Amino acid sequence: MARSAGEFDSWYADRIESPVADELVRRVLGLPPDLQSTSLLGGAGLDEVVAALDLRTGQVLVDLACGRGGYGLEIARRSGCRVVGIDFSAVAIEHARRRARALGLADRADFRVGELTATGLSTASADAVLVVDSIQFAEPLPDALRECRRVVRPGGRVLVTCWEAVDADDERLSPRLRQLDLGRQLPRAGFVDVEVADRPVWRLAEQALWQEALTIDAGDDPAMRSMQDEAQRVLATFDRLRRVLATARVPHSAPASLP
Ligand SMILES: C[S@@+](CC[C@H](N)C(=O)[O-])C[C@H]1O[C@@H](n2cnc3c(N)ncnc32)[C@H](O)[C@@H]1O
């Protein structure tokens, strides 16, 4: 998968033109019909995330590295919260704004171009931050976790879905994935009540998605061809990663300065 904002812009431009890729992801991962995902969080995982966030009407969720805004908009729809989506892809953000209007959620949604490490949001302005399958792109990772900590109010939550290496010394995995150890990194960023839980059932749904993607005739659809390239890479190292859901809270009494 691409890494710079420009590469993600092209990747999104292809994906927006590919109903086949979106239909495949929605069907195999069991997502609601209106949700446009560019990740691997499925319907059961989303239900769990919504319950753990426990957001109320009017509260603010930051969907960080939101892509086309699919998860944040769905959570806003279910909970009545407001969503602020941040992503460094201007193409994704423009599409997220269009989706918010199409879904009748524009009055509760605000999508802005920004970085994982520098959102541009005010300190303690959010009740929660959600990062779906994107934290591995942060450079450097500790700065992104500190940025999450900064924008969440005392007592608020952060939820991160991602992958961690079974063996952090396994050089067949990318350094990007090997760097993740949220059980250690979230407390260092100032979070408390940190829990990092394995989600093997989510991982099985991902495997089904990659396997099915390889059975489809991609024709001249660049989004499907990109998905098939990624499927080959992911399936080759599939058992070397654990799927995890990390949850943490900002302490009620903040230290004088962040660690
Ligand atoms: C796998 S996609 C997930 C998108 C969305 N969270 C979802 O689940 O549909 C990864 C996202 O991270 C964004 N991204 C990657 N690096 C970023 C960075 N440094 N700052 C902000 N966004 C970034 C990409 O543009 C992309 O939208």
pLDDT of 181 over the 60 cut = yes
Calculate the average pLDDT of the chain. 95
92 lines ligand 1 (CB under 6 A): yes
Q: Which of 75-89, 142-156, 168-182 has the lowest mean pLDDT?
A: 168-182
In degrees, to the nearest 5, what angle opens at C-alpha 83 toward C-alphas 80 and 85?
Answer: 160
What pLDDT score does 142 carry? 97
Give distance in angstroms: CA of 65 to centre of ligand 1: 4
Give distance in angstroms: CA of 84 to centre of ligand 1: 14
Nearest protein CA to atom 1 of ligand 1, as residue:
39
**Are the CB atoms for 81 and 58 separated by under 8 Å?**
yes
pLDDT of 1 over the 50 cut = no
Nearest protein CA to atom 13 of ligand 1, as residue:
65
CA distance 151 to 257: 14
22 lines ligand 1 (CB under 6 A): no
Q: Which domains does the chain have, with CATH numbers?
A: 5-249 (3.40.50.150)
Segment holding 93, helix H or strand E = helix 90-102
β-partners of residue 159 are 130, 247
Give distance in angstroms: CA of 5 to centre of ligand 1: 9
Ligand 1 atom having least distance to the Cα of 37: 9
CA dist 132 → 52, 66, 203 (Å): 14, 7, 14
β-partners of residue 110 are 84
CB atoms within 10 A of CB 203: 18
Write out the two tokens for 162. 């991602």
Predicted TM-score (pTM) of this structure: 0.96
Best residue for ligand 1 mutational test, from 9, 88, 111, 206 (most atoms within 8 Å of Cβ) = 88
Of 37, 2, 33, whose CA–CA distance to 176 is shortest? 2
Ligand 1 atom having least distance to the Cα of 138: 19
Of 17, 33, 1, 38, whose CA–CA distance to 209 is shortest? 38
Residue 27 banded pLDDT, cuts 50, 70, 90: very high
**Which comes out higher in pLDDT, residue 17 or 30?**
30
pLDDT of 2 over the 80 cut = no
